[in-house]
Amino acid sequence: MVSIAARHNINISGRPDGQPILFAHGFGCDQNMWRYVAPRFEDEFRVVLFDHIGAGGSDPSAYDPQRYSSLSGYAEDVVAICTELELRDAVFVGHSVSAMIGVLAAAAAPKLFAKLVLVGPSPRYINDDDYVGGFSVDDINDMLESLESNYLGWSSVMAPVIMGRADRPELGEELTESFCRTDPSIARQFARVTFLSDNRKDLPAVATPALVLQCVNDVIAPVSVGEFVCDRMPNASMVLLNATGHCPNLSAPEETAAAIEQFVRRSTFALR
C-alpha cells in the first residue's frame, strides 16, 4: 500500500518542532494554490501541504468514487493525515470547499485542531428558501457542462504550455502540468459533491476557534454566506478582505497571509 504521504503528495516544511499548520486546497486546483501564502509560516510553524485524492500530484489509483461521494470522505482523509503525521493542536487552513472539509474534520476529531481558518467558505451553494447560497440547481448543471466542454479542449487540443521564463518568476519548474488538471470523471464527481453539498447543520457543532476570511466580491461565496458561517459557528470571527474574487490566496497573498497570521500568531505575540 502506498504511504499516506505519497497518496496525498504531502510536502512538509518549516520548523519540525513548530505548531502544525495544514493548508488544504479547494475544488479545481491543488496545493500550489498556497504557494504565495504557506512559505510565510515556515519561520514558526510546521507547514504541511497536501493534495486531495484526485487532484494535483495525488495518487489517482487511490480515488474511490464511493468514498468520495460526499465531503466526509475528504474530511476522513484530513483526519488520517493529522493522525498519521502525529499533528497535534494543528491549525487547519481550508480554501473554498476545503473550508467545509475542515469543519467536518474538526467535528469528527475536535482534539486534533486548535484553530480553523476558513477562506471563502460556503456551507451550501444552492439557494434554499430564505438562504441565499448564490446558485440554483440549473446553475450547477451549467457549471458541470462548462467543465465538460473544457475537458474536450484540455485533454487533446491544448497541450500544456508551461515555460520557464525569466520575466515570469512564478512559472517555476516544479509547477507541474497537474495544476488545475484533473481526470474529467473525478473532477465531475468532485464538482457535484462540492456544489450540491449542504453542511449548514454541521456548523453549530464545531466549537474550535475559527476565522472566516471573506472577499468583498466573491461570486462563489458571497459576503452574506461568509456571515452565515460566522454566525452559526459558536466560536468564529470574520475578516473581510479587500481582495476580489474567490482566490485571495492567489490574488492577494499578503493580505490573506496577514489576516491568517493575526489569528494564528495572536497568542504568540502576546507572550513576546
Please tell me whether residue 166 binds another protein under the rule CB under 8 A: no
* Residue 230: CB minimum distance to another protein, A: 21
Please tell me whether residue 137 binds another protein under the rule CB under 8 A: no
Map the footprint of another protein across residues 226-255, applying CB under 8 A.
244-247, 250-251
Which one, 85 or 191, has the nearer CB to another protein?
A: 191
Q: Is 246 a catalytic residue?
A: yes
Please tell me whether residue 169 binds another protein under the rule CB under 8 A: yes
Which one, 194 or 208, has the nearer CB to another protein?
A: 194
d(CA 137, CA 107): 28
Which one, 150 or 235, has the nearer CB to another protein?
A: 150
Q: Is 218 a catalytic residue?
A: yes
Q: How far is CA 211 from the centre of its chain?
A: 14
Q: What does the chain look like in DSSP terms, one character per residue?
A: ---HHHHTT-EEEE-TTSEEEEEE--TTS-GGGGTTTGGGGTTTEEEEE---TTSTTS-GGG--TTGGGSHHHHHHHHHHHHHHTT--SEEEEEETHHHHHHHHHHHH-GGGEEEEEEES--SB-B-BTTB--SB-HHHHHHHHHHHHHHHHIIIII-------BTTBTT--TT--TTTT---HHHHHHHHHHHHT-B-GGGGGG--S-EEEEEEEE-SSS-HHHHHHHHHHSTTEEEEEEEEESS-HHHH-HHHHHHHHHHHHSHHHHHH-
* Residue 255: CB minimum distance to another protein, A: 12
| Site size with another protein, rule: CB under 8 A | 48
Q: Is 64 a catalytic residue?
A: no
Catalytic residue among 72, 96, 98, 122: 96
Please tell me whether residue 224 binds another protein under the rule CB under 8 A: no
Selected from 10, 23, 27, 73, the binder of another protein by CB under 8 A is: 27
Cβ atoms of 148 and 184 closer than 8 Å: yes
Instruction: Kindly indicate which of the ranges 40-48, 61-69, 149-157, 201-209 contains the residues binding another protein, using the contact rule CB under 8 A.
Output: 149-157
Instruction: Kindly indicate which of the ranges 10-18, 49-57, 86-94, 160-168 contains the residues binding another protein, using the contact rule CB under 8 A.
Output: 160-168
Task: Give me the active site residues, please.
Answer: 96, 218, 246
Residues that bind another protein (CB under 8 A): 26-29, 32-33, 35, 96, 135-136, 138-150, 152-153, 157-158, 161-162, 167-171, 175, 179-180, 195, 217-220, 244-247, 250-251
